Chain A
Amino acid sequence: MDEYRLELENRIRNLVWTISGDYTLGIKPDVESFLTSRNTSIYDSIKQGAFAKYLDREQLSLYLVKKVFMQAQEAPLLMVSSLCIEEAVKDRLMGEREGIAAIRKKACEEILDEEFNMLTSSNLGMLKAACLRESLDGHIVTTKQNTRWLELLHSLKDTRDTGRVIRVIDELYNQVVEPDFEKKKGGLDKVLAVTLEELKEFSWKDYLSEEMYEENLEVYLERISETMTTLDIREEKEEEPQAKNEEEKKKKKILVVDEEALEKMNLYVQLNYGKTYLSNREEKTVNYQMCRGIHDECSLYFTEGILQNPVKKNYQLEYAKKLKDKNLNEYYDNHRIVKQNIRILTDMLRRALTMHDQQDIVRTDCGMINPSQLWKVGRSRDTKLFLKEIKQDSINFAVDVLIDASGSQRKRQGKVAMQAYTISEALSNLSISHRVMSFCTFWDYTILHRFRDYEDDRKMNGRIFEYMTSANNRDGLAIKAVGAQLATREEEHKILIVLSDGKPYDVVVNRPGNKNPEPYRGEYAVKDTAFEVRKLRQQGISVLGVFAGEEQELLAERRIFGKDFAYIRNITGFSNIVGRYLMRQIED
């Protein structure tokens, strides 16, 4: 991960947020232009923030997209709109923030320096140059035509009416860039009459490869194009075969029970989740010990994931790669918050650990003599004339982080990965042994995906972003299996943190000969999971449930985890809550 670029992106984003005051605004920062023309890029970010604050960003972007749809030239159109937007916001912006005039001046100088030749080569360039000159020294020497256009531009001064900005952009574009646009393709009314359906049918591919244009449009175009054509739909389509497959398997399951089918199933799991890291014998032992009672006929499958141990290059592997990138992208977007969270959590834990390491000296009636108390001899009944050093128990910890990787977590996938990463990084900072695993249940197999093991190097924390969600979740079995392994650790204190949505759900379809046909869901599953949690607590393992699900499932989560349960609405509060819990464990 290129930390420097991430920090730069964050800086640009922050600048836009500062100006707009809206921290939910989505921005794709242009680091390249920041590195080449710093002042221009800073001023552009400021302008973008102001644009979002004073004008209707969506309305304007939509108009631009429609105009491009009507075959307007994209780059000049964006240049015109950039000029118009600036005219509309600049005075208000400079009035509000006194420092901006100086930044603007620097940016104007930079552009004139770098792009003067290019600007003078077209009508629009001349207009832009005139604008820049005007803002630098207040007067302009230009052609009559340019003066007329400038006047049109100036009519936008301080307007908050996005409709008016659109009209002027349209007019200027039609006059300066394509004088025959109106005649050939129609006026503003026709442009605005383009419907979303028509836009959806248009291929935006060519435009998306361009990097020249304004951020807001890029984001908008991307968003439209995403919903229209690319990612989401493609993903759904890609997921379909799997779902279908599962259904088919379920149907088949009722009919086919032979060994061959089971063998096939195992192969299928391998293809989807990577090879296991257990030997045949280990696998059998663990299944024999764990898969009993309610989990009879189930199997546990331990893997390090398809990306680490793939069987062959297949669609699943590609899909896992894509999901990892998606997780990483979400992490990049929230990079600073995650970093802050890691720092806060580390500080909290470090403090608790140091406090715990402190030695207390108390007054007693025996021990090391305390001269300052000797005056009491014969004068007072107080016999505590000695000091005794009380050492705290040494503390050593093992922490297990178990993440629900079932299909229901798909929406929150990136966030959950970030939460696990935060915990893992903070624990690594303090050299506390910990393991991070995820679980999901696919057919009869409960798959436990290990991202890092207790003694692994901190480099392995990055693997948490390989987290991918699919299929069902059999929480009770996963907690039981992970807890049993944690219990064998030699550390004195053991903590299991479970990130889940409180909705155990694994529907085993009845097979002939299946001893345990009951579907694992609802009350039945909640009770079983809660039972496993209590059982671990009885063994002295602290279990914390971190809720990462829909609000209506809160109750179930509470029933499973009882008092040690945390609900975090927002990732920023995450480290505080988990930190406080861990601190309590350290202090008790």
Chain B
Amino acid sequence: MTEELKVLEAQQVDSGLIEALELFRKKYKTDEKVSHRVVKPAIPFYGREILEMSIAALLEGENLLLTGAKATGKNVLAENLAWLFGRPSYNVSFHVNTGSAELIGTDTFRDNEVSLRKGSIYRCAEYGGFGILDEINMAKNDAVSVLHATLDYRRSIDVPGYDKIDLHPAARFIGTMNYGYAGTKELNEALVSRFLVIDMPSQTEETLSYILERMYPNMRARAKEQWIGLFLDLQLKAEHGEISTKALDLRGMTGAIAAIKQGLKPTLAARMGITNKCFDIFEKEIVQDVVMTRIPEEWTSGDVFA
């Protein structure tokens, strides 16, 4: 069994699903040209139920939409799935200026000739990749309309002036979205109907412990407990609307811990990775108060790492 699938086994994912996944991997080999796009994610995703749901859906040829608040691991899951399925991944981050040109392609001059420069969705379709459509609800209508035929049963892309290309049978799309973000809008029903939706649960002590364990195996248990507690405290605060989700930043926290590993004082690291993410001065103080109860001023790098 490959390293990827062992991670699933360790989490007691249904053995039938693991077998089916193995068959999938054997059936679809990755093209040499894009093998560099099969990337091992920085941290494995932890959560048996979510993994089972998403693997089953993807095996059936469905596309996935991951919804949930900030720091629930939407992108980590998407990256993990591409890695588990052994597929090259193509990340498209949607913003107001993502249009059909970026997704499908645009004309360009090459060797004195006008030719098509393929967009990420085009390449994903060609090589059977996993297209990760990040913040899909930030997409403008122009970009979304391109995706319709790609995501439904037609599984094809019609490039005006070129050809109609069919999707590689291993190609899948995983959209992520955060409902509450300022500026995001509701997805239209036509688009949502092309996905199976997973509502990502908030972080728990167990998942955070797993993540930190994996990322920093030599972290002291005492310190780990405090950092996890800190994150959960902030998560609860954000859920109750007392602070925004700015400080609730798992990447920021793991970044801070990494800085401590380099020898930085824990309170300073927490300030960089967590407190300073808030721009509102009063919110900063509330966050600082929580940090203060968890991370002692006198702690040094040695208190966190053995």
| A contacts, CB < 8 Å to B | 7, 10-11, 14-15, 17-19, 21, 23, 42, 46, 96-103, 336-337, 340-341, 343-344, 347-348, 351-352, 355, 358, 360, 372-373, 375-376, 380, 382, 572, 576, 580, 583-584, 587
Contact = CB atoms under 8 A, between A and B. Distances in A.
B161 A382 contact: yes
Interface in B129-183: 140, 142, 160-161, 179-180, 182-183
Given A23-B240, A46-B293, A344 B182 contact: yes
A8 to B, nearest CB: 8
B182 A337 contact: no
Interface residues on B, range: 35 or more
B226 A10 contact: no
15 contacts: A10-B282, A14-B290, A17-B240, A23-B242, A96-B229, A97-B294, A98-B299, A99-B295, A103-B292, A351-B183, A355-B96, A360-B142, A375-B113, A380-B161, A583-B185
Contacts of B295: 98-99
B107 A18 contact: no
A10 B229 CA distance: 21
Contacts of B229: 96-97
B286 A372 contact: no
B297 to A, nearest CB: 5
B114 A375 contact: yes
Contacts of B183: 347-348, 351
A207 B233 CA distance: 36
A18 B233 contact: yes
A439 B299 CA distance: 60
A351 B182 contact: yes
Given A360-B142, A375-B114, A99 B241 contact: no
Contacts of B296: 98-99, 101-102
Contacts of A18: 233, 237, 289-290, 293
Contacts of A15: 289, 293
Given A14-B289, A15-B289, 12 more contacts: A11-B286, A21-B236, A23-B240, A96-B229, A102-B298, A341-B241, A343-B244, A348-B182, A348-B183, A372-B114, A376-B161, A584-B186
Given A14-B286, A98-B226, A351-B183, A340 B294 contact: no
B77 interface: no
Contact of A375 (B107, B142, B294): B107
Interface in B246-305: 282, 285-286, 289-299
B27 interface: no
Nearest to A584: B186
Interface string B2-19: 000000000000000000
B293 A14 contact: no
Nearest to A23: B240
Contacts of B179: 576
Nearest to B285: A11
B297 A7 contact: no
Contacts of A103: 292-293
Contact of B226 (A97, A337, A358): A97
Nearest to A13: B242
B293 A17 contact: no
Contact of B241 (A100, A336, A348, A376): A336
A572 B244 contact: no
Contacts of A583: 185
Contacts of A376: 161
Given A348-B183, A360-B142, A14 B237 contact: yes
A572 B186 contact: no
A343 B182 CA distance: 9
Contact of B185 (A19, A101, A352): A352
B33 interface: no
Nearest to B161: A382
B239 to A, nearest CB: 8
A537 B61 CA distance: 44
A10 B286 contact: yes
A337 B240 CA distance: 8
A99 B240 contact: no
A347 B297 CA distance: 36
B298 to A, nearest CB: 7
A580 B282 contact: no
